[in-house]
Amino acid sequence: MKLRFTAAFAALLLIATTFSFVDTAQQTTTSSTPLSVPTGPRKDSIVRGLSYTSFVALTPLDSVQAKFQPSMWDLWKNKKWSALETMVNDNKLNGGYPPASGFVSVSIVKLKPNTKLDRYGSLWGTFVAPQGASFGSRALPQSSKNSIYYQFKVLKEIPNVKAGKAIPWFGEPGMGMQYQFNDKINTLITNKYLIVTDSVLPPKN
C-alpha cells in the first residue's frame, strides 16, 4: 500500500511540475512580446501641413538612423525645438540641420511676378526668403555669412512652392518666412522664372 501511494504521489508531482513549467514558459513569452514589437508612428494625421509620411520624406535618414524618426516627429509636432536640435546633434542626424526641411509648417503657394527674394549661398540651392529678411530669422548656420548673397526677382509665376516659417536653429531665432522650390535656382534662372538683380561677395577675412 505504501509503495502504491508513493508511486501515485510521484506521478502527480511530475504532472504538476510539467504544467508549472509550461505556464511559466507561456508567461515569459507573453511578457517579452511587447518588447519585440516595433513602435511605429501614430495615426498619420496632418500637423501644420505635414503628415508623418511627408515629414519622413523631407527628412531622409539612412536605415540605421531611421529609428529616430518617430521621436523627431513627436518633438517637431509639439514644437520642442531645443530638444529636437539636441537629438539631431547628439545622434549626428540630417547633417545637423533641422528636419522637415527646416519648416515649422508647410503650405504650397504660387510666387507672383515681381516678387523680390534673396538667399545666402550658391545658385544650386532651392531655398530663398523674402528680400530683406534678417539673417537670424532664416535660422542659418553662421558659415552662411561667408557665402555669396543674391537678390532675385520673379519674372513669371512659379507654382508649387513650399512656404512656411523657419524652425529656430543654430542659435538663431528663426520664424522668418522661407520658400523652397522644386527646382534648383539656376534652373529657374535658365528657364526665365527668376532673374538675379544683385549679388554681394562675402567679406574677406
**Region for 91 from its dihedrals, namely left if φ exceeds 0, alpha if ψ lies in -120 to 50, beta otherwise:** alpha
Q: Are 155 and 139 in contact (CB under 8 A)?
A: no
Residue of 27, 48, 178, 180 marked catalytic: 178
Residue of 119, 131, 151, 180 marked catalytic: 119
From residue 168, alpha-carbon distances to 72, 133, 146 in Å are 15, 15, 20
* Nearest alpha carbon to residue 93 among 76, 107, 105: 76
Give dist(CA 88, CA 139) in Å, integer: 15
Q: Is 42 a residue of the active site?
A: no
Q: Is 119 a residue of the active site?
A: yes
Give dist(CA 77, CA 119) in Å, integer: 27
* Nearest alpha carbon to residue 185 among 199, 177, 195: 195
Maximum CA extent, the chain: 111
Q: In what helix (H) or strand (E) does residue 73 lie, and over which residues does it extend?
A: helix 69-77
Q: In what helix (H) or strand (E) does residue 8 lie, and over which residues does it extend?
A: helix 2-36
Q: Catalytic residue numbers?
A: 119, 178
